[in-house]
Amino acid sequence: MNRKIAFITGATSGFGRATARRFAEAGWALVLTGRRSERLQALEEELASQVPVHVATLDVRDAEAVKTLVAGLPEGFRTIRCLVNNAGLALAPEPAQKVDLQDWHTMIDTNITGLVNVTHALLPTLIETGKGASIVNIGSVAGQWPYPGGHVYGASKAFVQQFTYNLRCDLQGTGVRVTDIAPGLAETEFTLVRTKGNQAASDALYRGTTPLSAEDIAEQIFYVATLPDHININRLEVMPTRQAWSAFNIDRD
């Protein structure tokens, strides 16, 4: 049997890990990456009885490491059908004028540079797969809707949206689809990372409402990647029912 293969970045937590489980359930072989090796090993142990799994410790910011990993993928994991560009993070929820410059660089290096590193390395195999292949980029509602403390995070996700659309233009005729999935409030380790380990702040954000779960987004990723070959969802914005926009903020005398 010729299995379909998915390559997932940021598979050690949240959306990425749930997506690995969702594709495994459907029989896809998996290339799973992230920086935390012990979590990758645990996921491999969990899923390897279901499907072939190749795990690789990878920091997406390191272009050379990305290239080397892709060039050295073992037999049976080389012809990628779906790339899920999920690795990413927000830092520094405070106003722009109070932020440490390094936090901005980390977001740019991960959410923009990391995403293009992986995309560039995998484009040849995705194009070889052709019809039915997909790139699913994880953007955010923050890429379109500004909010206080969104500064570089939101801007990095706006990049993801426009890069998705521009890739579509260049990949026209190859059969490779490209989608920007833009989730709203979702309970993962995202806020713990954003607040540098403040569990109480993370709990407070999700308390008393019904956020999206990692599994909700995994289901959307799986959905867009398994639609009939001739359908490309360009952008899919997904919010919890209990989240909506707010009024403009007016500064008054």
* Enzyme catalytic residues: 153
The contact mask relative to ligand 8X3 for 182-201 (x = CB under 6 A, - = no) is --xx----------------
| 117 and 69 Cβ atoms separated by less than 8 Å | no
In the bound state with ligand 8X3, the residue whose beta carbon lies nearer, of 52 and 184, is 184
Per the listing, tokens 């495994």 go with: 24
* Residue 28 tokens, joined: 């896809």
Q: Which among 13, 234, 214 has a CA at the least distance from the CA of 137?
A: 234
Burial class (CB within 10 angstroms; exposed 0-12, middle 13-18, buried 19+) of 185: middle
Query: Which does residue 29 touch among ligand NDP, ligand 8X3, none (CB within 5 to 8 A, set by kind)?
Result: none
The contact mask relative to ligand NDP for 194-233 (x = CB under 6 A, - = no) is ----------------------------------------
- Report helix angle 214-225 to 14-25, nearest 10: 50
Parallel, antiparallel, or unpaired: how do β-strands 53-57 and 177-183 relate? unpaired
Which listed range, 57-65, 115-123, 140-148, 163-171, lies at the site for ligand 8X3 (CB under 6 A)?
Answer: 140-148
Residue 159 is a binding residue for ligand NDP (CB under 6 A)? no
Q: Which helix (H) or strand (E) holds 235?
A: strand 235-238
- Taking the CA atoms of the chain, what radius of gyration do you get in angstroms? 18
CA–CA separation, 207 vs 85, rounded Å?
28
Residue 59 is a binding residue for ligand NDP (CB under 6 A)? yes
3-state secondary structure of 113: helix
Work out which of 4, 6, 8, 15 binds ligand NDP, going by CB under 6 A.
15
Residue 93 is a binding residue for ligand NDP (CB under 6 A)? no
Which listed range, 10-18, 73-81, 116-124, 200-208, lies at the site for ligand NDP (CB under 6 A)?
Answer: 10-18
Q: Which residues bind ligand 8X3 (CB under 6 A)?
A: 140-142, 184-185
Residue ranges binding ligand NDP (CB under 6 A): 9-10, 12-16, 34-36, 58-61, 86-89, 110, 114, 138, 140, 183, 185-186, 188-190, 193
